[in-house]
Amino acid sequence: KLFSNKPNVTLQPSWTQIYSGETITVRCEIHGGDTEWDYEWETNSRIKAPNQNEYRIRSASSSNSGNYRCKGRMKSSQHETTEWSDSVTLTVSDSNPVHPVTEGASVSLSCSLRTQKILSNVFFYHNDKLLQNDPRGELKISAVSKSDEGFYKCQYSGRESAQSWMSVKGEQDQNM
């Protein structure tokens, strides 16, 4: 028997662009609770059966890129299953994007989820050091210097973003 409730696949962190070395949790959520189900996963058209509602990838690499989906089988019956969830496409990049900024320029970094545009109570990190907790979900640097170069990430409600690299170039290219 096929149940009409379709599972939902979610990611933590909740975006599909991930950088190598990060830990990703792919979660299968079935309406009606997690205890009644055995789980089956399909990734890149290969069936895997970790039999858990979470599929954790530690130290991700580009080989983890692909489509992930799941279905559930009721523990009390081998014949009662859900349909496959919609696929979530995960892209693991081996390099971080480069955002060159000119010394002296002002920069505003923001932190957002796909489901919520503006976040509050966001923690910003520079090279893994806490910079500030901003109620507006924004980090403003009024005059960028070479010391601002590095990796930036934000944390919201226990979830952490991927790191982004910001490079700072000298101001000789800028007319003042």
For the entire predicted model, the pTM comes to 0.52
**Domain ranges across the chain:** 2-93, 98-170
CATH topology of domain 98-170: Immunoglobulin-like (2.60.40)
Position 33 scores a pLDDT of: 63
Over the stretch 77-132, which tens digit does the pLDDT of each residue have? 777 888 899 998 888 876 655 557 889 988 888 777 666 565 667 888 898 899 87
pLDDT reading at 64 higher than 60: yes
Around Cβ 119, how many Cβ atoms within 10 Å?
18
Please list, in sequence order, all residues whose beta carbon lies within 8 angstroms of the beta carbon of residue 118, skipping any fewer than 6 positions away: 112, 136, 137
98-170 has the same fold as 2-93: yes
Task: Give the pLDDT score at 97.
Answer: 54
Q: Which CATH superfamily is domain 2-93 in?
A: Immunoglobulins (2.60.40.10)
